[in-house]
Structure 1
């Protein structure tokens, strides 16, 4: 009945809110019955690793460890700078998005139409449903490259003895 009065987007939001309220209520009940379970539930899950893509270095082509470390350090620094810049850009955009086009001090604020296009998933879904084609086929996005600094234990002395 509720769905008849709302757009699909609003219905999703309402279902999401109901789910969030149910989660909060379940946490409240668990906090009374078994408070330790809440702490155990918040353990950070291990990151899922995607399989390696095609086109990687062959074993004899892999650069020196120092070169790899330098590239990883630079990647991590650049990714951190990009995240900081993106946060600043979003904060500024919150103000600028609400301004009408015009000149403000030394800056002109205006909008241009985008040349990019994206599939209209709502329309594609409607067509699939109208022709009984089942769910819209989807494919996974490319895996994200992650870099993190790890503590490396010194090489074990027994390995050095075996090599000698």
Structure 2
């Protein structure tokens, strides 16, 4: 029985479990720690053309609920992405095959992306100048803010 606890596979499993625990603890600490870049200026992109007019806006409670849900879902997505990257780091190195109850294999992707090196070379060869680029869509961000209860502070901010 003792040899099962000291096998290389068990050692890897224990290391993976410890790594997961450490990552979870680090996530918790990061969420509790004050933001180090709080004093950095946040650059805001302009609103897109299809935003709602003032008379079309939903109730503030609806907006707050949506922002709360967005923040929760974004946090879950970040955690899931970190876990996925950690697992993929191991799985990418494995040859295709059966590993216990899991089959590891690869399939060709149906997605394509422009070959920027080839495009740049073609532009350079034809003397067309730099490759035209466009900005990506701005990222949606939400953050909880403290409401100022002091009326004098509100008037000072408004001025």
TM-score calculated relative to the size of structure 1 = 0.68
Question: Which of the residues 68, 71, 75 maps onto 1:76?
Answer: 71
Q: Which residue of 2 aligns with 1:114?
A: 109
Matched ranges for 1:14-163 at <5 A: 44-154=39-149, 156=151
Shift of 1:58: 1.2
Give runs of ≥4 in structure 1 deviating > 2 Å.
42-45, 154-157
Question: What secondary structure sits across from 1:108 in the alignment?
Answer: strand
The alignment covers a number of residue pairs equal to: 118
Shift of 1:45: 2.4
Per chain length, whose mean CA-contact separation is higher, i.e. which structure has more relative contact order (CA < 8 Å, sep 6+)?
2
In structure 2, the gaps of 5 or more residues are: 1-36, 155-159
Question: What secondary structure sits across from 1:135 in the alignment?
Answer: coil
State the alpha-carbon separation in 1 of the partners of residues 38 and 148 from structure 2. Answer: 25
Instruction: Say what the alpha-carbon RMSD is for the aligned residues.
Output: 2.0
**Partner deviation per Cα, 1:124-145 (whole Å, 9 max, x = no partner):** 0000000110000000000000
